[in-house]
C-alpha cells in the first residue's frame, strides 16, 4: 500500500488534465474511467489529505474490493468501471482518478467534484443544526430517564411505607386484642377467686345461730365424768 501511495504522489504531480463536475448535495454522481482496463483502482485526492484508495474493480462478475467498510454505503461501480457516488456530501468533494493495476501504473484523466459555496454553507449549517438537535434530544432523553427512575424509586418508597404502616397497624391491633384478651382472662380469674373466697363458712354467723341448749348439751357430752 505504501508503494501505491508513492506512485500516486508521482503520477498525480505529473497529471495536468482535470475535468470539473458541478454536483448538488444529496444527488448521485457518476464518474467515467477512460482507461481501457479490466481492473482499476479508484482514488480520491483531497487538498489536505494523502490519496485515498476507495476500491479495486475486477472483471465481472467479481464484486469490487473496498478498502474501507464505510465506502460500501457511499460508492458503487457500474459497467466499464464507472464510479457512482451516492448522496454526495461535503466529505466526497475532491479529485477522483482511476488507475490500472499493472506495472507501470497509469492514471486516467481526473475529475474534480465541486459545489457552490452557498450550498456548502447550507450543508454546514444544516449539519450544525442537526448536531445541536441531536444533543438536545439526547439531553432530554437523559432527563426523562432520570425522572422515570426517580419516580420509580419514589413509588417503591411509598409502597414500602404503606406496607410498614399497614403491618404496624395490624400488629398494634393484634397487640391490643391480645391485651384485651389477657385483661378479660385476668378479670375472670379474679372473679372466680372472689367467688371461692366468699364461699367459705363464716363460723361467727354459725355460732350465733347455735342455741344455748345445743351448746350445753354438746358441752355435757364432751365433759368427762369426775373421778
Q: Is residue 86 in a domain?
A: yes
194 within some domain: no
Note the Cα 15 to chain centre separation in Å: 54
Any domain includes 84: yes
pLDDT tens per residue, range 60-109? 788 999 999 999 999 999 887 899 999 999 899 999 999 998 888 888 88
Consecutive H or E run containing 7: helix 2-14
Instruction: Please check whether residue 41 lies inside any domain of the structure.
Output: yes
70 found inside a domain: yes
As a whole number of angstroms, the distance between CA 145 and CA 43 comes to 46
pLDDT in tens, 102-133: 888 888 888 999 887 645 555 555 667 677 77
Number of domains in the chain: 1
Q: Taking the model in full, what pTM does it have? A: 0.49
Sole residue written with cell 458541478: 22
DSSP 121-168: HHHHHHHHHHHHHHHHHHHHHHHHHHHHHHHHHHHHHHHHHHHHHHHH
Domain assignment present for residue 203? The answer is no
Question: Is the separation of the CB atoms in 74 and 92 below 8 Å?
Answer: yes
Full domain range(s) for residue 77: 2-115
Q: What is the domain-level CATH number for residue 31?
A: 2.60.40.10
Q: Confirm whether 81 is domain-assigned.
A: yes
Say how far apart CA 158 and CA 150 lie, in whole Å.
12
Q: How far apart are CA 227 and CA 224, in angstroms?
A: 9
Residue 65 lies in a domain: yes
pLDDT in tens, 146-200: 988 888 889 999 998 888 888 777 777 777 777 777 777 777 777 766 665 554 5
Amino acid at each position: 500500500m505504501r508503494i501505491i501511495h508513492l506512485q500516486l504522489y508521482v503520477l498525480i504531480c505529473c497529471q495536468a488534465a482535470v475535468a470539473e463536475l458541478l454536483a448538488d448535495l444529496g444527488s448521485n454522481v457518476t464518474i467515467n474511467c477512460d482507461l481501457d482496463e479490466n481492473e482499476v483502482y479508484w482514488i480520491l485526492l483531497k487538498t489536505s489529505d494523502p490519496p485515498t484508495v476507495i476500491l479495486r474493480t475486477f472483471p465481472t462478475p467479481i464484486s469490487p474490493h473496498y478498502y474501507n467498510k464505510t465506502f460500501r454505503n457511499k460508492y458503487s461501480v457500474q459497467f466499464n468501471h464507472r464510479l457512482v457516488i451516492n448522496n454526495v456530501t461535503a466529505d466526497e468533494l475532491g479529485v477522483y482518478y482511476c488507475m490500472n493495476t499493472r506495472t507501470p501504473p497509469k492514471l486516467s484523466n481526473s475529475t474534480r467534484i465541486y459545489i457552490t459555496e452557498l450550498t456548502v454553507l447550507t450543508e454546514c449549517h444544516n449539519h450544525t443544526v442537526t448536531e445541536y438537535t441531536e444533543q438536545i434530544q439526547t439531553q432530554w432523553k437523559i432527563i426523562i430517564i432520570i425522572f422515570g427512575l426517580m419516580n420509580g424509586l419514589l413509588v417503591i418508597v411509598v409502597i414500602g411505607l404503606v406496607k410498614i404502616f399497614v403491618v404496624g397497624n395490624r400488629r398494634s391491633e393484634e397487640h391490643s386484642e391480645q391485651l384485651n384478651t389477657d385483661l378479660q382472662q385476668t378479670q375472670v380469674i379474679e372473679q372466680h377467686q372472689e367467688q371461692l373466697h366468699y364461699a367459705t363458712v363464716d363460723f361467727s354467723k354459725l355460732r350465733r345461730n347455735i342455741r344455748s341448749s345445743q351448746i350445753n348439751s354438746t358441752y355435757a357430752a364432751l365433759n368427762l365424768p369426775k373421778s
